[in-house]
Amino acid sequence: MTTSAGRRGIVALMTTAPVAVSVTGLTKRYRSRTAVDNVSFTVPTGSVTGLIGPNGAGKTTVMAMMLGLITPSEGEGTVLGAPIRDRARYLPRTGALIESPAFHPAVSGRDNLRSLARLAGHSITGIDDMLGIVGLSDRGGDRFGSYSLGMKQRLGIAAALLGDPELVILDEPTNGLDPQGMQEIRDLIRIISGQGRTVIVSSHLLGELEQICDWLVVLDHGGLVHLGTPESLGGTADALVVEPCAATDLDALVVVAASAGLPIDRVAETIVITLDVQSDAHRIAADLNTRAHAAGIVLSELHHRRADLESRYLTMINAAAPTEKAVR
């Protein structure tokens, strides 16, 4: 697990903030299968927290335990200050979209929301405003069955907002949506967060959520692999990419870089020097350029490559990162 310090002191800010959710040693076993394994994390109040992990990582199970829908095999926690096993104390202040809500296809979006509100004992006076927030003002009177997938998801989020919850939990709300639909959901999450709510949103793709999350909980195979800001996730794997003008100088360049004590990968016609978070890329690049020049090697390329968050995430969960294949 990494809990590295982020830039601009964000980590300190987030980790000292009041917490909406805190879990310790959360575990869920089904017979011989461990769906969630000894997971501990906090969710800062007011944050947009991404629960990220590949299929089967345990995201839905964690969310279901946070909502009191599944009883943990082990572990404990609090949601909005109440023990996780005491759901009556936090559920009235929590909204969720964890499975497709039971909307009636022949009934309008507006009337579906009204029915859900009445069932839950919430006021129906703000329903039209809510339809406006989720961008369905024009289509609120249309049958739910005529909605696109994105509209159905947005109506589901509206349902999660009934009762004006402090905490909103959304399980893979962008799943199956096209880029525009995903953007609409991201915009909606920003609006919900801007209203002062804590939002926990899951996805198997970090890239879908990295722009809107200020706190990440990364799961893989039921375990926690990273907890921190997006900046903390991105602080470990930048690289210098160096290429000699003449391909025949590559071996000599490797020797020069190795003599400077740098960690080197040969990748096609280049060498890649992995930088750790403390590395001064400019100093290392200047030093390497000087050494190469002294050895009679002319460089055609020397640049600082910033690995994107998605490739770091994929590396973290042992999937194939979409970067150069190293040939050592």
Contacts to ligand ATP from residues 13-52, by CB under 6 A:
30, 33, 35
Out of 4, 5, 38, 56, the only residue in the binding site for ligand ATP (CB under 6 A) is 56
The interface with ligand ATP within residues 200-259 (CB under 6 A) comprises 204
Task: Please identify, using beta-carbon distances, which residue of 63 and 130 lies nearer to ligand ATP.
Answer: 63
Q: Which long-range contacts (CB under 8 A, 24 or more apart) does 7-16 make?
A: 7/231, 7/235, 8/231, 10/214, 10/229, 10/231, 11/228, 11/229, 11/231, 11/232, 14/44, 14/47, 14/214, 14/215, 14/228, 14/229, 15/42, 15/44
Q: How many residues bind ligand ATP (CB under 6 A)?
A: 12
Minimum distance from residue 229 beta carbon to ligand ATP (Å):
21
Residue 59 within binding range of ligand ATP, rule CB under 6 A? yes
14 near 198, Cβ under 8 Å? no
- Asked if residue 57 binds ligand ATP (CB under 6 A), the reply is yes
Answer yes or no whether residue 317 interacts with ligand ATP by CB under 6 A. Answer: no
298-311 burial, b for 16+ CB within 10 Å, e for fewer? ebeeeeebebbbeb
Which x/- pattern, by CB under 6 A, does the window 67-96 give for ligand ATP? Answer: ------------------------------
Closest distance of CB 204 from ligand ATP, Å: 5
What's the min distance (Å) between Cβ of 59 and ligand ATP?
A: 4
Token reading at 55: 């299929």
Residue 241 backbone dihedrals phi, psi, to 5 degrees: -110, 125
Which residues lie near ligand ATP (CB under 6 A)? 30, 33, 35, 53, 55-61, 204
